[in-house]
Amino acid sequence: MAKLQKSIDKRNALVKATIELVNNNGFHATPMSKIAKMANVSPATIYLYFENKQDLVNQTYIDVKAEYTKYAFKDFDTNLPVEKGFELIWKRIADFKLKECENAMFLAQCDNTPMIDELSRQQGIKHLQPLLDLWTRGRKEGIIKPMSDYLLYAYSINPLSFLMIAQKRGSFQLDVTHLEEAYQSAWSSIKVCK
Amino acid sequence: MAKLQKSIDKRNALVKATIELVNNNGFHATPMSKIAKMANVSPATIYLYFENKQDLVNQTYIDVKAEYTKYAFKDFDTNLPVEKGFELIWKRIADFKLKECENAMFLAQCDNTPMIDELSRQQGIKHLQPLLDLWTRGRKEGIIKPMSDYLLYAYSINPLSFLMIAQKRGSFQLDVTHLEEAYQSAWSSIKVCK
DNA sequence: TATGTAAAAATGAACGTTCATTCTTTTTTT
DNA sequence: AAAAAAAGAATGAACGTTCATTTTTACATA
């Protein structure tokens, strides 16, 4: 195998192990030794790929966040009408939270704890721009409520994180019917009422 | 001072220190020695009040959760019409998240990490019943969408956690205008559209 | 293709530190 | 003066990181 590919594989294995272990135990209860073992690597090897534990988790966060937004905007097209565009993005995000559950759980934990450096956090937000642009257009067209992006995100996107966690804990099953209800609630909360 | 009161004070100091330190550093990055120091107590003394570190954080969680729901339902009356009752509870919860920021941050972190025992987590949910009852009544009267409690909570209550965290991070200011907008979004997302 | 070799990558053991918890002693209360 | 509460120092385990060494890779030469 090519040297480069082997390096990439090893880095990916480390990132994947970090996600799984941090999901189950939290950042500080996840020792480097366990990450190494799960990635089939010596603890010392981690330090060839990452500066230290904080760097490993920061980079993992940025990686996953990039995957998330790439997934979210896959079929998005800026020419779509606002409502259609929003529905498309919303459903892709919902898909991500349900199918890429491990990744989504990791992000939820990062976003609600002091686990990630502020710099990496800001790096992670960057790629959300297409959604913010869509909302700007929607407000101009009088379709979206004239509210802050934070409020729009809080009401239309963030609830999916709560539902995902509830689902992971087993207390709740987010099936196709629920998903449609959830979408309607999301849209209701941000659209201008006629 | 009475012996009992002194004990209560000491326990409260420990709980308060735990909240502050865990908010800033996370559970595992908060040593017992620091908790002790902040509460003006010897590390060994903690073990007179709590079994171990896990017990301390579990009990802190249950304490704060109880405070949260007590605050939320303070002026609530089951005879209120559904919409009025919801508005009252929602605004009390919003108040809590903004004024009792430390407490609310702590709950957010607990609810999104594997920090708390499952048993304590379930103990914490118990006191939310009045809101669930209100929703049941609302659904019967055709005022509230016929959706799962989880969905109703995700859309009408949980967004406040996101907004609180954004506000704490300084990226966003949740003032009176925003609060009214937020309430309208919350209500829009769960009310039946006429 | 086979071989030798220098550099790079990877390793396991070791180090120094930190932490939760306990033990023994001291202080406070009754 | 006995009992209860609190203290600080001690203990042993676990952790992040580094170090000395081994293994693998890349490649020049034959």
How far apart (Å, rounded) are the C-alpha atoms in residues A104 and A19?
A: 10
Report the pLDDT value the prediction gives residue B170, as an integer from 0 to 100: 87
Domain shared by B81 and B157, yes or no: yes
B29 chain-A contacts, CB cut-off 8 A: 28
State how far residue B113 is from chain A, nearest Cα, in angstroms.
6
The mean per-residue pLDDT over the stretch B36-65 comes to: 97
The mean per-residue pLDDT over the stretch A129-157 comes to: 97
> Quick check: A4 pLDDT over 80?
no
User: Could you report the per-residue pLDDT of A153-188, keeping only the tens digit for each?
Assistant: 999 999 999 999 999 988 899 888 999 999 999 999
How many other C-beta atoms can be found within 10 angstroms of the C-beta atom of residue B146? 10
Question: Tokens for A148?
Answer: 């802050």
User: Are residues A106 and A64 in contact, defined by beta-carbon separation less than 8 angstroms?
Assistant: yes
B55 inside domain: no
B56 inside domain: no
Domain shared by A179 and A85, yes or no: yes
User: Could you report the per-residue pLDDT of B105-118, keeping only the tens digit for each?
Assistant: 999 999 999 999 99
Q: Which of B162, B178, B184 to mutate to test the interface with A (most CBs of A within 10 A)?
A: B162
How far apart (Å, rounded) are the C-alpha atoms in residues B142 and B8?
A: 47
Mean pLDDT of chain A: 94
A188 chain-B contacts, CB cut-off 8 A: 188-189, 193
How far apart (Å, rounded) are the C-alpha atoms in residues B120 and B63?
A: 10
CB contact under 8 A, A115 and B26: yes
Query: Taking the C1' atom of C22, which residue's CA lies nearest?
Result: B44
Domain shared by B88 and B150, yes or no: yes
The total number of structural domains that make up chain A:
2
CB contact under 8 A, A151 and B26: no
Mean pLDDT of chain B: 94
Domain shared by B5 and B96, yes or no: no
Q: Give percent of chain A with pLDDT exceeding 90.
A: 87
Structural domain harbouring B148: 61-190
| B193 is near strand D: CB distance < 7 Å | no
How far apart (Å, rounded) are the C-alpha atoms in residues A119 and A122?
A: 5
User: Are residues B88 and B42 in contact, defined by beta-carbon separation less than 8 angstroms?
Assistant: no
pLDDT band at A94 (very low <50, low <70, confident <90, very high): very high
Task: Check which CATH number belongs to the domain holding B85 and give it.
Answer: 1.10.357.10
Domain shared by A104 and A145, yes or no: yes
Domain shared by A143 and A73, yes or no: yes
pLDDT band at A24 (very low <50, low <70, confident <90, very high): very high
The mean per-residue pLDDT over the stretch A29-48 comes to: 97
> Quick check: B60 pLDDT over 90?
yes
B100 inside domain: yes
